[in-house]
Amino acid sequence: MIRIEGLSKSFGTTQALRGLSFEVSKGQVVGFLGPNGAGKSTTMKILAGFLVPTSGHAYVGERDVGVDTVATRRMIGYLPENNPLYEEMMVVDFLAFIAEVRQVPADLRAERIRVAVDRCGLKSVLGKDIGQLSKGFRQRVGLAQAILHDPEILILDEPTSGLDPNQIAEIRGLIKELGREKTVILSTHILSEVQSTCSRVLIINDGKLVADDAPERLTLGAEGGVITVVVGTRLGVGLDEAKVRQALAGVAGVTSVESADAEGPGTAGFKLRYGRDDPRRELFEAAVKNELVLLEVRRQHVSLEETFRKLTATDPSGPRAAA
């Protein structure tokens, strides 16, 4: 459905994309992750037909977005970053205008607008100027505009940025629903959003693809995880932190021990990292042997956040400038 081949883009001396390539097949919901300035928006702008790449190609279906500009744009619904809208227009006029410019056939127009308004819950604000709307409603107008012509592909650049948690949940639900019938690419900073809505994650850093996998698999690598423990002595007093630390470090499977928050006097908190083997059994045995009480044992898998941080850590060898 979407194919990107060796895409590069420079703005003056900064290079935003350096030979990015990936494919998205029909019906996938793809999350686009990356730090600010990694090239997410640039890629989306090229796909949507706003920017022209410096080199490389982007295909929608079998068509090059740089050649068949009009035909490819017709297949795409696009919500740009910051959601620019004509502030002085009424919601209903704006949607009618988009339908006209998008050349939705006259006999289908009223129906399509009705469907978009229903889906995005805009009925109550149809007669209001867009400039008066709250951020949540503005975002819905942007989405309504993107789905108005019933496109096969949706490109959503940070669809939930700046919304409150309730609005985020609403928009996410809407995207999930749309994802059942359409191919969706969305970019975001919220990693949990990717886990909850996307079937595939692309992480880009510095204009290049650094990871491409299902969100579960990115988090469930062979990396193991972290166990947070809070311990106390059986008597409640006389805890020797150094001794405890030594005991914990000796547990089979634990690779490192860091201090963490305690839970008041007479207790100590630690963060234990482990490799492939789960050390919780050994941990219990060690606690018994050292006359310690485990007040809390909490295991976390490596989160998407950690994977993200690891993959996109800025290279200390040099600043990001054009080659």
Partner 1 sequence: MNPTLAIAKREFRTFFSSPIAYIVLGGFLLVAGWLYFGTLFLAGQASMRAFFAIAPVLFVVFAPAVTMRSIAEERKSGTLELLLTMPLKDWEVVTGKFLAALGMVAVGLVWTLPYPFTVASLTAPGVAFDWGPVAAGYLGLLLMASSFLAMGLWASAMSRNQIVGFIVGLLLCFSFYFVDKFAILLPESIGQAVEYLSVDFHFENIARGVLDTRDLLFYGSLTAAGLVLTTRSLAAARQ
Residue 51 as a binder of partner 1 (CB under 8 A): the answer is yes
Q: What is the largest CA-CA distance in the chain?
A: 82
Choose among 212, 207, 187, 210: nearest CA to 38: 207
In angstroms, the CA 108 to CA 89 distance is 22
The least distance separating partner 1 from the CB of residue 64, rounded to whole angstroms, comes to: 15
- First CA to last CA across the chain, in angstroms? 31
Residue 49 as a binder of partner 1 (CB under 8 A): the answer is yes
Phi-psi region of 13 (alpha: psi -120 to 50; beta: other; left: phi over 0): alpha
**Binding map of partner 1 across residues 25-44, x = CB under 8 A, - = no contact:** --------------------
Q: Point out which span in 13-21, 85-93, 216-224, 292-300 binds partner 1 (CB under 8 A).
A: 85-93
Side chain identity at residue 270, one-letter code: F
The least distance separating partner 1 from the CB of residue 144, rounded to whole angstroms, comes to: 13
Question: Which residue from 21, 25, 55, 103 is in contact with partner 1, where contact means CB under 8 A?
Answer: 103
Residue 78 as a binder of partner 1 (CB under 8 A): the answer is yes
**For residues 187 and 204, is the Cβ–Cβ distance under 8 A?**
no
Q: Point out which span in 96-104, 169-177, 203-211, 259-267 binds partner 1 (CB under 8 A).
A: 96-104
Distances (CA, A) of 223 to 174, 218, 300, 304, 321: 34, 10, 11, 12, 32
Q: Of 51 and 248, which has the nearer Cβ to partner 1? A: 51
Q: Point out which span in 47-55, 113-121, 183-191, 249-257 binds partner 1 (CB under 8 A).
A: 47-55
Return residues touching partner 1 (CB under 8 A): 45, 48-52, 69-71, 73-74, 76, 78, 80, 82, 84-89, 93, 97-98, 100-103, 106, 145
